[in-house]
Amino acid sequence: MSWSKQQVKLLINEYKKLACLYAVKSLYYKNKHARNSAVTAIQKALTEIKQKVTVDEIKAKFHGLKNTFLTEYRKHLKSLKTRTGEDKVSSILQINVLPFATIRCFYKTQHTSIFIGIANPTRQKRAGASASEPKSKKRKYVEKTPEQQAVEDVAVALKQISAAIATSSESTEKPRENHHDIFGRFVASKLQEIDPGAAKEMEKQIVGLLYSL
């Protein structure tokens, strides 16, 4: 069954709304029930302009679009590196409705997703012109689950609390000792060296002397 440009555009836009169908880091990417429900939702949307379209036809069409895009884009990158055909960009790369250029984890590769920056072919030309320069490694985009984000937020909060406590402890200065404090420790040490009964009697005398002043 043939597809019109309008139908293809709607198909891609509907796929783009459902990350579980293409984002390998999505929480529901491996959830078969979620994926089947997503494709069914796409089928329902497509029946408005493409009646009797089946789920299998939708999957096959999108798979074909993805593979064609990958093939053409690799050719485009190769032409930039060899500086041949730089002014020729495949029509599939110029279709603005394709979501591949903005979804980093759409296709799992050994390196950073090749879809980063596709939306602007002129940037790719500049990158090809400086292909001899050493390439810096790019971090892969990882979509965090709500549980992972919550754990990270708690860790950050605990770190901030610990830092605040440490700062407060450092800023709290101990009161300076004077000669009365030193004399008091001296008397206490001597009382501990004598007989408990005598020490108790001596304490009474010291207290009485202090109150008699």
140: confidence class by pLDDT, cuts 50, 70, 90: low
Instruction: Say if residues 15 and 99 touch (Cβ distance below 8 Å).
Output: yes
pLDDT at 137 over 90: no
**What residues does each domain of the chain span?**
5-129, 142-172, 179-211
The structure tokens listed for 186 are: 């001296």
Instruction: Say if residues 107 and 113 touch (Cβ distance below 8 Å).
Output: yes
From the list 3, 1, 42, 2, the residue with the least C-alpha distance to 21 is 42
Instruction: State the Cα–Cα distance between residues 100 and 41, nearest whole angstrom.
Output: 20
Q: 132-146, 153-167, 189-203: which has the highest mean pLDDT?
A: 189-203
197: confidence class by pLDDT, cuts 50, 70, 90: confident
Greater pLDDT, 7 or 147: 7
Instruction: State the Cα–Cα distance between residues 83 and 129, nearest whole angstrom.
Output: 8
Instruction: State the Cα–Cα distance between residues 207 and 50, nearest whole angstrom.
Output: 102
The residue length of the chain stands at: 213
Give the contacts of 112 (CB within 8 A, at least 6 positions apart).
104, 137, 138, 139, 140
- CB atoms under 10 Å from CB of 25, counted, come to 15
